[in-house]
Structure 1
Amino acid sequence: MADLSELQSWHSEAWRGLKTVVLGLGVSGFSVADTLVELGSEVTVVDARPDEDRAKLVQVIGGRVETPETEALPESLEDADLVVASPGLPPSHPWLQRAAELGVPVWGDIELAWRVRDKVRAADWLLVTGTNGKTTTTQLAAHMLREGGFRVAPVGNIGTPVLDAVRDPQGFDVLVVELSSFQLHTMGEIWPHSAAVLNIADDHLDWHGSADAYRAAKAKAYENVRVAAVYNTADRATEELLQEADVVEGARAIGFGLGIPGPSDFGLVEGVLVDRAFLDNRHNSALELATLDDLGEAGLATPHMTQNALAAAALARAYGAAPQAIRDAIRSFRPDAHRTQHIAVVDGVSYVDDSKATNPHAAGGSLRAFPHVVWIVGGLLKGVAIGPLVAEHASRLRAAVVIGADRAEVLEQLQRHAPGVPVAQVLAVETEDVMREAVTKASAVATSGDTVLLAPAAASMDQFKSYADRGDRFQAAVEELKAGRGGADERDDPNRLD
């Protein structure tokens, strides 16, 4: 088996002829295969049901594709020097277990990207992880840095593979890298400029096997941080991960929260976002960054979105963005769809799409933003308990409309923790009918001043292609309802959060 110790640079000759196996041909898998071919390695991509166009392209660029049955062991593993695995493959997958038996090193695309980051010029990395809020924070931090004059790209779990940015012919000053717990699990030793862990709550327990394993994956984001380790002052778990982390001497702990900040923190003072970390007289003064009104104009008015903005500002300021750049970026930023997105007001009822709330922690953030909710909930729970979420928000529920495969557990927890709340089930089985029925049933019980909130607290793949597909279908159903009732209210405002 080849010695991989020399694989620390794009320019290492040790890549040539290396027998590599790429497990999974998704977006990141193709970027891995393309990179390894360019490096001169022998590349075999293994996928039980590969995308046909990507599979053809792999062969065009000089790789080969192996398509074993899902549980069958790929022949290419037997003499592989290196395996690079899709982040979606759990550690228990037979292919990964076979690689371990053979003693073949297993990397993820993040490990590979770090080792070859010097193809053009080695950009600094700012890491963003957490149970929720990663994508918005990543986008915001990149937007702030761009306003500050840096060449920057938001990459990683956000959808653009890090390897695509590493191979950009112009190069970047800095990459803002969103990392899922899956990616962190296979990430080796890297040395990021700064990192933020936004929050920690149980999620993906079916993949990691336990809450401790999930937290251990998230903790890797802080390892070897050189400048700023950003944590949530309202989330004790993030602070505990930071206290246990082995950071570079001189790196600073930077807190963010919705209260008045202490020295070295970011927070709020009388409706103003302030920085008490990156200024000379931080013990006695603060820098104004933006206002809550600015956040409202950007669709970031909810508490959890405000926390995302503060975390992003901390990362951007750590890298050198000026306060004015932070303010300008917040004022011009618009979050992606399906993130507490206001859709319409019909007969005095607001309809809000937070399909991105794929776990209880995320759904809790949405529920807290509205006093009276008709809640559309359910899907794949991923082994995470939903009872505490129901108990916490039972008092604000006007009614619940339950969708999804794991509905029995949702129904049981609603009965246990919110016995007085009316509950309706969506019985439709065809994807195109689920949201139409859900919106119809929700609108039937909602009254003026209520919010019909799609915050499923669960993954979407049982009934939909993705959380975006789920949200798109919810929005379409709301538009049908609006048209059938003569249009939206005069006070309908796409940027308004009731």
Structure 2
Amino acid sequence: MEHILGTGTVLVTGAGVSGTGTHALLTSLGADVVLVDDRSQLPGVIATESARELLRGGSVSLLVTSPGWRPDSEIFAEAERAGVEVIGDVELAYRLDRAEVFGTPRAWLVVTGTNGKTTTTAMLADIMALHCAASGQHAQAVGNIGTAVADALRAEERVDVLVAELSSFQLHWSSELRPDAGVLLNLAEDHLDWHGSLAAYAADKASVLTAGRPVAGIDDALVRAEVERLNPANLVGFTVAEPEPGQVGVVDGRITDRIDGEPVDICSAEGLQPAGPAGVLDALAAAAVARTQGVAPDTIATALANFSVAGHRGAVVHRGSKQWIDNSKATNPHAADAALGAFDDRVIWIAGGQLKGAEVDDLLRTHAHRLSAVGLLGQDRGVLAAAVEKHAPGIPVLVTDETEPEKAMTELVDFAHRQDGVTVLLAPAAASLDMYTGMGQRGDLFTAAAARIDADPEENR
């Protein structure tokens, strides 16, 4: 392992879940590891300035960063001056796996994109689990869904196929990662405060196309631009249109594989979960990756037929006087666009939070005709309210200034219940951390409030 870790101290930045997991992994391998985090009170964790002193002293051989640390952090500049390589936790796990530290290397299937990552990863993991079961192997969702990659490598029951959901942060710090297959679903403005520009963000995401079998969502203009820039070999495209050779698409309402030219029928595109065009795209992506790995069409069809939506990703959470849908995972305008696009009209939209500099005019321009009312909360509610007024003037709008999480959501749910419409959709188009502990809490409070209001006979007279 010396060629991976070096002979000196390994610094690990961040004492959160990722950092402590990396620390435990390296400690189990006998490495000299030091955790770095200015905010942590854990024993043995040092501050950034102390870590910079270690770097200047020449005793550090590798720096492993947690994904949340921005690339312009001064500690990374210090590492560069000291000639110390900086990699991410996923890159570390990949290098250790390829070096056979944990036995025969695993198959790595990586999923990334601005939206749809979690659903596609879960679909693909279900497909691969069914495929692997026939040969006594084990596939598992890892990364930002399911198990941490490092934990999967050390699992008591060997994981043979890692289906990894990876963020742009993780890919930024993964210079040698070359998965067996990698899919880039889509691209839109997101995390620009971290990456500095859309071009830098797109480049980090598109690095997944260096995979042995790259797969790309060719209906997306930004993805097509990255494909043209990189010109990856053996590319497989997926599309909601009829596929050309080298693609997976839809023919007469059925998902069809034309990777090798001749059409291979997989399954119906109707009745999939989650419902709507976004769900079909997720299924196309998962099917395309699975086919590159030799998975039979009937295995894919069975797994997709039995697939159910994870929480906060477009599930119908309540049916009463209206249909209530929790898509709290729609944390940017691109995801909200997909969520709104699944409905024809009479949608009561609940949105708001931290836009992180993203523009929302196009979102409202596209979906104004679908909206019957809008409820807004959170830090950037005013930006959204202005866009609603511009593109959907005259519809009922409630903008709450309430900052207590449950009260704010209850106020908007009460408002939505009183409006004319058939579907209440929580698709915030914004991050949640201005008010909530995460998108999960936001969705849970929406679900609970919806259930209460329709259970109240006084409200349903």
| TM-score, normalising length: structure 2 | 0.92
Deviations 1:24-67 (A, max 9, x none): 122221221111112221111122333x7xx46xxxxxxx3225
Question: Residues of 2 paired with 1:307 and 1:414: CA distance?
Answer: 28
**Equivalent residue number for residue 177 of structure 2:** 190
- Looking at structure 1, the residues matched to 394 and 249 of structure 2 have their Cα atoms a distance apart, in angstroms, of 38
Structure 2 residue identity aligned to 1:377: A
String of CA shifts for 1:219-261, please: whole Å, max 9, x gaps. Answer: 21112x22x21111211222222233264xxx42211121221
CA drift of 1:294 comes to 4.6
Q: Does 1:237 align with 2:216?
A: no
Query: Displacement, 1:106?
Result: 1.1
Does residue 329 of the first structure (1) align with residue 303 of the second (2)? yes
Give the alignment partner of residue 153 of structure 1, picking from 140, 143, 147.
140
Q: Which moved more, 1:141-150 or 1:106-115?
A: 141-150
Would the aligned equivalents of 2:178 and 2:208 in 1 still touch at CA under 8 Å? no
1:6 to 3, 19, 29: 3
Q: Provide the secondary structure at the position in 2 that maps to 1:154.
A: strand
Number of residues of Structure 1 aligned to a counterpart in Structure 2: 451
Query: Counterpart in 1 of 2:265?
Result: 288
**Aligned match of 2:287:** 313
| AA partner of residue 254 (structure 2) | V
How far off its partner does 1:479 sit? 0.8
Query: Which structure 2 residues correspond to residues 18-57 of structure 1 after superposition, within 5 A?
Result: 18-50=8-40, 55=42
Helix, strand or coil at the partner of 1:460: coil
Matches within 5 A, 1:192-341: 192-223=179-210, 225-226=211-212, 228-245=213-230, 247=232, 251-278=233-260, 282-283=261-262, 286-295=263-272, 299-341=273-315
Q: In structure 1, what is the Cα distance between the partners aligned to 2:198 and 2:264? A: 38
Q: Which residue of structure 2 aligns with residue 359 of structure 1?
A: 332
Q: What is the aligned partner in structure 1 of residue 65 from structure 2? A: 85
- Tell me, in whole angstroms, the C-alpha distance in 1 between the residues paired with 2:14 and 2:152: 20
C-alpha separation in 1, matches of 2:231 and 2:89:
23
SS at match of 1:365: helix
**8 Å contact kept, 1:123–1:172:** yes
Secondary structure of the residue aligned to 2:38 is coil
Alignment map for 1:391-470 (pairs within 5 Å): 391-447=365-421, 450-470=422-442
- Residue 118 of structure 2 aligns to a residue whose secondary structure is helix
Corresponding residue of 2:448? 476
1:115 aligns with 2:115: no
Residues 375 and 399, structure 1, Cα contact 8 Å, conserved in 2: yes
Q: What SS does structure 1 have at the residue aligned with 2:235?
A: strand
Question: Which amino acid is 1:288 matched to?
Answer: D
Identity %: 39
Change (3 A) 1:391 1:293: closer
Q: Secondary structure at the match of 2:3?
A: coil
Q: How does 1:157-196 map to 2 (within 5 A)?
A: 157-196=144-183
Question: Is the partner of 1:231 in helix, strand or coil?
Answer: strand
Distance 1:217 1:5 in 2: 28
Contact 2:239 2:284 in 1 (8 A): yes
Say whether residues 1:368 and 2:341 are aligned partners. yes
Task: Name the SS for the 2:163 alignment partner.
Answer: strand
Q: Do 1:140 and 1:330's aligned partners in 2 also have CA atoms closer than 8 Å?
A: yes
Which residue number corresponds to residue 114 of structure 2? 131
TM-score normalised over the length of structure 1: 0.85
How far apart are the structure 2 equivalents of 1:177 and 1:246? 23
Q: Aligned-pair distance for 1:101? A: 4.0
TM-fit CA distance, 1:184: 0.9
RMSD: 2.2
Shift of 1:191: 2.3
Q: State the secondary structure of the residue aligned to 1:352.
A: strand
How far apart, in 2, do the equivalents of 1:487 and 1:159 lie? 39
1:167 deviates by 2.1
Q: Distance in 2 between matches of 1:93 and 1:405?
A: 26
Residues 48-67 of structure 1 mapped to structure 2, 5 A cutoff: 48-50=38-40, 55=42, 64-67=44-47
**Structure 2: runs of 5 or more not aligned:** none
